[in-house]
């Protein structure tokens, strides 16, 4: 009896040790959870589909309460990538979209999914990475050359991978570099900008970020630094679009236009012009509405 008990305990310990010695398999990043999408309709509310950068930068937290208080209309925000935002509009599941991929916006309008587009603001993209700069790109201003160096060095790079405006811009830069990114060094996250910056920080990897979200993330602590900036290809304009009311009888076309009028008006543009100045010494977004340009 004692011999059988000893053998059983020995086998249990052996199995446990064997399991502990197995190599740990890398875990692929989980795709971003599908956001809850409020359907247009209901009194005194509209649905705004927008990019994660307008949310993660903190801008919406500042300006939307102003609109809600002034007009008595609640704004339900769905913050996803530009591609997903435009898809929500195309499907009639948003009243307004606020995005940053001009080619996709123009195609959206040409297809009749939107009835009005207005320029709102702009900033730029930056290539950020770890301080040790394994790819040797720090201080440059040629985004395509930097991407080519990252690929040649097979330095870790985290991509949004979510059909966002940032993702579209990233592939524009890869195309300019003549590179099709692939391999263990290239991670497609399927996440928003804030989550991707966190991943890149944890993995000491490079990524492409809009400047506003990156700067907002520095307030929370990050080792990532700006490596490349200032290339004209990194220009990042934002536009707001009223969704075609024919998409859904619940879409509030009048309120959507009222929201757009407010967003591009001088008082709101003035608020945008000052957002970030106190924390960073310069605004996170530059106003760009017609009213602002002609003031």
221 and 279 in a single domain? The answer is no
224 and 252 in a single domain? The answer is no
pLDDT band at 52 (very low <50, low <70, confident <90, very high): confident
CA nearest neighbour of 256 among 113, 96, 105: 96
pTM score: 0.80
DSSP 186-220: EEE----HHHHHHHHHHHT-BEEEEHHHHHHHHTT
> In sequence order, what are the beta bridge partners of 127?
208, 228
pLDDT band at 106 (very low <50, low <70, confident <90, very high): very high
Task: Specify whether the CB–CB gap between 225 and 129 falls below 8 A.
Answer: yes
Per-residue pLDDT reduced to its tens digit, 226-275: 999 999 999 999 999 999 999 999 999 999 999 999 999 999 999 999 99
pLDDT at site 164:
87
CA nearest neighbour of 262 among 271, 250, 275, 251: 271
CA distance 211 to 215: 6
139 and 214 in a single domain? The answer is yes
117 and 242 in a single domain? The answer is yes
4-8, 74-78, 144-148, 156-160: the lowest-pLDDT one: 4-8
Measure CA of the first residue to CA of the last residue in the chain; give whole Å.
Answer: 94
Task: Specify whether the CB–CB gap between 287 and 266 falls below 8 A.
Answer: no
Question: Looking at the predicted structure, is the pLDDT value of residue 48 above 90?
Answer: yes
112 and 258 in a single domain? The answer is yes
Q: How far is CA 174 from CA 83, 148, 159, 171, 190, in A?
A: 19, 8, 11, 5, 18
pLDDT at site 220:
87
Question: Looking at the predicted structure, is the pLDDT value of residue 30 above 70?
Answer: no
Question: Which residue range is the domain that position 59 belongs to?
Answer: 45-122+237-293
Residue 29 within a domain: no
Helix, strand or coil, per DSSP, at residue 291: helix
Question: Looking at the predicted structure, is the pLDDT value of residue 10 above 60?
Answer: no
């Amino acid at each position: 009896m004692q011999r059988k008990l000893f053998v059983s305990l020995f086998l249990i310990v052996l199995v446990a040790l064997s399991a502990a010695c197995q190599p740990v398999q890398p875990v692929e990043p989980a795709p971003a959870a599908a956001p809850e999408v409020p359907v247009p309709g209901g009194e005194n509310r509209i649905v705004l589909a927008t990019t994660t950068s307008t949310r993660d930068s903190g801008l919406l937290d500042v300006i939307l309460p102003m609109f809600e208080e002034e007009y008595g209309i609640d704004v339900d925000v769905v913050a996803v990538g530009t591609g997903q935002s435009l898809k929500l509009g195309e499907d009639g599941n948003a009243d307004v979209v606020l995005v940053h991929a001009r080619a996709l916006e123009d195609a959206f309008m040409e297809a009749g999914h939107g009835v009005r587009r207005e320029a709102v603001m702009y900033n730029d993209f930056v290539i950020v990475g770890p301080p040790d700069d394994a790819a040797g790109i720090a201080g440059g201003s040629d985004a395509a050359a930097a991407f080519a160096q990252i690929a040649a060095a097979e330095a870790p790079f985290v991509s949004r991978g979510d059909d966002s405006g940032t993702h579209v811009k990233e592939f524009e830069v890869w195309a300019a570099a003549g590179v099709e990114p692939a391999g263990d060094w290239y991670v497609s996250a399927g996440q928003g900008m804030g989550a991707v910056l966190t991943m890149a920080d944890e993995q000491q990897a490079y990524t492409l970020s809009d400047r506003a979200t990156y700067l907002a993330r520095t307030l929370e602590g990050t080792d990532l630094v700006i490596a490349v900036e200032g290339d004209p290809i990194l220009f990042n304009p934002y536009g707001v679009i009223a969704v075609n009311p024919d998409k859904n009888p619940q879409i509030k076309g009048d309120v959507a236009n009222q929201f757009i009028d407010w967003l591009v008006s001088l008082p709101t543009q003035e608020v945008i012009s000052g957002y970030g100045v106190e924390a960073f010494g310069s605004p996170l977004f530059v106003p760009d509405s017609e009213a602002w340009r002609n003031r």
